[in-house]
Amino acid sequence: MKITQATIYPLSIPLIEPIKMSRELVRDAKTVLLCLTDDEGRQGWGEASVAPLMTGETLDSLLGSVKYLVEHGKSCEWAEPNKFAEIFSSILYGNASAKSCFEMALLDLFTQRQSIPLWKYLRLENKLSNLAEPKPIPLLRMLGGSPEKEIADAKEYRALGFKHWKIKIGSLPLAKDMERVAMLSDLLDGDVISVDANGALSLADAIRFCESKQASKLSFAEQLVPADLPLSDFIALKQKSLIPIGLDESIHGLVEIEEFIQAQAFDGASLKLIKTGGVLEAVEAAKVLKANHLGINLACKIAETSLSGAATAAIGFALGEIPWGFSMSNQYLQFDICAQALTAKEGHLDVAQLSDSGVGIKPEESRVKDAIAKGYALIQC
């Protein structure tokens, strides 16, 4: 398979409402879309989101890396997906986000050629065909804002069928966050409830939080401390915590997963394509986590479109189940660039929405062009 043409779209899509994280306030989603055309005229789409505090990527740096990969990748033969990563590495060092964008578009083309949905291809290639038909994946809903808003949102979305929750902590004094967590845990008792500090807590505060009565109903706590702390601090947190410890910013792929498994320093991880370098590496990471009886949360960065959501969900449908839920972030966008956007049904995503061959969903070019970031233009290669 050869690439004959490529178009790169730098996008900025406003959120329904700003999302307050421990170290930033996100008002719009900046993401890069890539459309590849192959030698048979098919189009494949890829996406990667800007994440300066997670991957170091800005819109400009991500655009530059994707453009570089495309320009050099047009001369390559893309025949076997298990060789994609090797070819990427021969072109460009690091830059996992750009590679995930390119890989997604290539996989979309490859599985369209095979007339098979991406999730089924992943299941077959990973010898998971013995698994039952995939169950709907539980979607995780974030809670934030004033206590009144959090309570109202929790009640509204629980009535719609949501049973997985993420409470953002770390921007308020610890005592205030503990009050919020206790209140929401009581309100949502019996559901899968997690917190995410995005590395904002000190080790001492993280231990205090995890030993507290207020946190006792949580299913897991995600990335409480900074990713650059020594491994010994993560071991100490895990040993003293009364609740499961999940990691996000600390985990980019198999290297970190195996290091933390050997140290017995966590209970599960959040997997994002922009961290692992793409779908294929994320599947390998998920398989290792599952084999070691560790929790898995699949996640899109705030906030990616249905395209990235579909590629990420394909991993969950291939594996059969995702116990810590799926953070499908297109639900926070004012609009989606896909005409048939992924939607929650009773708080879940069902596999029928990804029945088409390829990634399973297509952007609508007119919508894509309307979302181009101010001061930027599409790039044709």
Helix, strand, or coil (residue 195): strand
- The structure tokens 């990335």 sit at 223
Q: Rounded CA gap, 5 and 228, in Å?
A: 40
Kindly report, as residue ranges, where domains of CATH 3.20.20.120 are found in the chain: 123-354
Mean pLDDT of 216-244: 98
What DSSP string runs through 315-341?
HHHHHS--TT-EE-GGGGBS--SBTT-
Kindly report, as residue ranges, where domains of CATH 3.30.390.10 are found in the chain: 3-115+364-380
- The answer to whether the beta carbons of residues 331 and 139 sit under 8 Å apart is yes
Q: Work out the angle at residue 283's Cα, subtended by the Cα atoms of residues 200 and 255, and round it to the nearest 5 degrees.
A: 55
Does position 134 have pLDDT exceeding 80, yes or no? yes
Tell me the per-residue pLDDT of 152-205, one tens digit each, with 9 for 90 and over: 999 999 999 999 999 999 999 999 999 999 999 999 999 999 999 999 999 999
The architecture (CATH level 2) of 123-354 comes to Alpha-Beta Barrel (3.20)
Instruction: Report the length, in residues, of the chain.
Output: 381
Tell me the per-residue pLDDT of 23-52, one tens digit each, with 9 for 90 and over: 777 789 999 999 999 999 999 999 999 988
Confidence label for 240 from pLDDT (cuts 50, 70 and 90): very high
What percent of the chain is predicted at pLDDT more than 70?
Answer: 100
User: Which residue intervals of the chain are DSSP H helices?
Assistant: 59-73, 84-91, 96-113, 118-125, 147-159, 174-187, 203-211, 231-240, 254-263, 273-276, 279-291, 306-319, 365-370
Helix, strand, or coil (residue 25): strand
pTM of the model: 0.95
Does position 18 have pLDDT exceeding 90, yes or no? no
Looking at residue 17, what is its pLDDT?
A: 84
Confidence label for 302 from pLDDT (cuts 50, 70 and 90): confident
Looking at residue 180, what is its pLDDT?
A: 96
Mean pLDDT of 257-273: 98
Looking at residue 22, what is its pLDDT?
A: 63
What percent of the chain is predicted at pLDDT more than 90?
Answer: 89
What is the residue-averaged pLDDT of the chain? 95
Looking at residue 129, what is its pLDDT?
A: 80
Structure token pair of residue 282: 């994320």
Looking at residue 132, what is its pLDDT?
A: 81
Which CATH number does the domain 3-115+364-380 belong to among 3.40.50.720, 3.30.390.10, 3.40.50.970, 3.65.10.10?
Answer: 3.30.390.10
- The structure tokens 């231990």 sit at 207
